[in-house]
C-alpha cells in the first residue's frame, strides 16, 4: 500500500511582491494624474485675463505708474501686466473679424487698456474683488476694472467639485489598496500558519516569531515599491514621448516626493499587514488553522 503524499502549499512570495507592486503602481499613477491635473488647473486659472479700462485723459506717467503698481500687487502673475492701446486693440479685433472693420469710417470705439493675470493659487472671486476695489478707488486714470464674474464663479465652483472628486477617489483607492495588499500578504503567509503555531507551542515568544516575517516583509515591501516606481517611470517616459506637453505640468520635486511616498507606503503597509496576519494566526487555536 503506497503512502499518500500530503500536499503542503509553499508560500508564494513572488505573487505577493507583484500584487503589492501592482497596487502601488496604480496609487502612483493616480498621484501623477492628480499632480498633473492640479498644475493644469492652475495654468487654466492663469490664462484668465482681468481688464483695466483706462481714462482717455490719463497721462503716460499715470499709465506707467499703474503698470508698476499692478506688477507689485501680491497675487498678480509676474510678467502678465500688458498695456494695449486702442489702436492695437482695433487691429487685433480686425484680425479676428476681418480687415473690412478697418475700412469702416467711424470713430474707434475701444479704449486703452491694461490687462493682467492672477497666480493660479490666488485666483478666486474674493481676491479679484479686493484688487478691483483697491484700484478703482481714487485713481482718475482708471475708468473700470472688468472681469466676467459669472465665468469666475463657474470656474472656481467647477474646480472645487473636481478637487472633491479627486479626494473621494483617493480615499476609495487608499482603502482598496489596503484591502488588496493585506489579502496578498495573508495568502503568502497562509502556508506557514502551522509553522507559526508550532513555534509558539515550543515556547517561542510572539515577538520572536514575528521578527523573521517582518524582516522578509520589509525586503518585499522595498522590492515591490521599486518595481512600482520602475513601471511608473517607464509609463511616464512613454506618455511624455507621445504627449510632450505633459512634461511642463510636472516638477522634479513633485516626482521625487511621489517616489518617496510610494517607497515609504509600500514598506509600512507591508510591515503592518504582516504584523496583523502573523498575530492573527498566533491568536487562532490549532483546530481553526485547518479551516
Q: What pLDDT score was predicted for residue 161?
A: 74
φ/ψ of 145, rounded to 5, equals -110, 125
pTM of the predicted protein model: 0.59
Please say if the pLDDT value at position 116 is more than 50: yes
Rounded Cα–Cα distance for residues 206 and 91 (Å):
82
Q: What pLDDT score was predicted for residue 127?
A: 85
- Percentage of residues of the chain with pLDDT beyond 70: 78
To 10 degrees, what angle do helices 206-242 and 193-201 make?
A: 150
- Among the listed residues 263, 269, 264, 289, the one whose alpha carbon sits nearest the alpha carbon of residue 214: 269
Please say if the pLDDT value at position 43 is more than 50: yes
Q: Region 260-269: what's the mean pLDDT?
A: 87
Measuring CA to CA, how many Å separate 193 from each of 1, 187, 204? 31, 10, 15
- Among the listed residues 145, 169, 185, the one whose alpha carbon sits nearest the alpha carbon of residue 269: 185
Cell 492628480 -> residue: 34
Q: pLDDT of 192-243, one tens digit each?
A: 777 777 787 787 888 888 888 888 888 888 998 899 889 888 888 887 788 7
With residues binned 3-state (H G I as helix, E B as strand, rest as coil), the percentages for the chain, rounded to 5, are 70, 5, 20
| 49's grid cell | 485675463
Q: What pLDDT score was predicted for residue 122?
A: 84
| 195's grid cell | 509553522
102 compared with 286, residue with greater pLDDT? 286
288 compared with 142, residue with greater pLDDT? 142
Please say if the pLDDT value at position 1 is more than 50: no
Q: pLDDT of 61-76, one tens digit each?
A: 998 999 999 999 888 8
Rounded Cα–Cα distance for residues 265 and 177 (Å):
11
Please say if the pLDDT value at position 149 is more than 70: no
SS3 for the chain, per residue? CCCCCCCCCCCCHHHHHHHHHHHHHHHHHHHHHHHHHHHHHHHHHHCCEEEEEECCCCCHHHHHHHHHHHHHCCCECCCCCEEECHHHHHHHHHHHHCCHHHHCCCCCCCCCEEEEEECHHHCCHHHHHHHHHHHHCCCCCEEEEECCHHHHHHHHHHHHHHHHHHHHHHHHHHHHHHHHHHHHHHHHHHCCHHHHHHHHHCCCCHHHHHHHHHHHHHHHHHHHHHHHHHHHHHHHHHHHHHCHHHHHHCCHHHHHHHHHHHHHHHHHHHHHHHHHHHHHHHHCCCHHHHC
Q: What pLDDT score was predicted for residue 6?
A: 43
Q: Region 254-264: what's the mean pLDDT?
A: 84
- If you average pLDDT over every residue of the chain, what do you get? 78
Q: 197 with 289: CB under 8 angstroms?
A: yes
Class of domain 49-146: alpha beta
Strand partners, 144: 53
16 compared with 230, residue with greater pLDDT? 230
Please say if the pLDDT value at position 143 is more than 50: yes
Q: What pLDDT score was predicted for residue 8?
A: 45
Q: What pLDDT score was predicted for residue 186?
A: 78
Q: pLDDT of 89-114, one tens digit each?
A: 767 766 655 555 555 555 666 788 89
Measuring CA to CA, how many Å separate 244 from each of 26, 31, 46, 80? 22, 19, 21, 25
Domain boundaries, the chain: 13-43+163-290, 49-146
Q: pLDDT of 157-194, one tens digit each?
A: 676 677 677 767 777 877 777 787 778 777 777 777 77
Strand partners, 51: 115, 146
Amino acid at each position: 500500500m503506497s503512502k499518500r503524499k500530503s500536499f503542503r502549499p509553499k508560500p508564494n512570495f513572488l505573487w505577493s511582491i507583484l500584487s503589492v507592486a501592482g497596487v502601488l503602481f496604480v496609487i502612483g499613477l493616480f498621484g501623477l494624474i492628480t499632480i498633473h491635473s492640479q498644475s493644469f488647473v492652475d495654468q487654466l486659472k492663469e490664462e484668465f485675463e482681468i481688464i483695466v479700462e483706462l481714462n482717455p485723459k490719463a497721462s503716460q506717467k499715470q499709465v506707467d505708474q499703474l503698470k508698476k503698481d499692478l506688477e507689485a500687487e501680491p497675487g498678480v502673475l509676474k510678467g502678465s501686466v500688458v498695456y494695449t492701446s486702442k489702436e492695437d486693440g482695433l487691429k487685433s479685433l480686425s484680425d479676428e473679424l476681418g480687415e473690412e472693420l478697418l475700412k469702416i469710417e467711424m470713430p474707434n470705439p475701444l479704449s486703452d487698456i491694461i490687462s493682467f493675470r492672477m497666480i493660479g493659487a490666488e485666483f478666486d472671486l474674493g481676491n479679484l474683488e479686493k484688487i478691483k476695489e483697491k484700484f478703482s478707488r481714487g485713481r482718475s486714470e482708471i475708468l473700470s476694472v472688468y472681469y466676467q464674474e459669472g465665468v469666475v464663479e463657474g470656474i472656481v465652483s467647477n474646480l472645487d467639485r473636481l478637487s472633491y472628486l479627486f479626494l473621494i477617489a483617493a480615499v476609495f483607492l487608499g482603502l482598496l489598496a489596503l484591502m488588496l495588499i493585506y489579502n496578498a500578504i495573508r495568502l503568502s503567509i497562509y502556508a506557514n500558519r502551522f509553522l507559526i503555531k508550532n513555534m509558539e507551542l515550543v515556547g517561542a515568544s510572539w515577538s520572536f516569531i514575528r521578527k523573521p516575517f517582518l524582516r522578509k516583509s520589509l525586503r518585499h515591501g522595498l522590492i515591490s515599491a521599486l518595481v512600482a516606481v520602475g513601471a511608473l517611470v517607464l509609463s511616464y517616459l512613454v506618455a511624455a514621448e507621445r504627449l510632450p506637453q505633459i512634461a511642463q505640468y510636472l516638477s522634479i520635486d513633485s516626482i521625487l516626493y511621489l517616489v518617496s511616498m510610494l517607497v515609504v507606503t509600500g514598506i509600512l503597509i507591508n510591515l503592518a499587514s504582516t504584523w496583523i496576519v502573523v498575530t492573527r494566526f498566533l491568536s487562532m487555536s490549532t483546530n481553526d488553522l485547518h479551516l
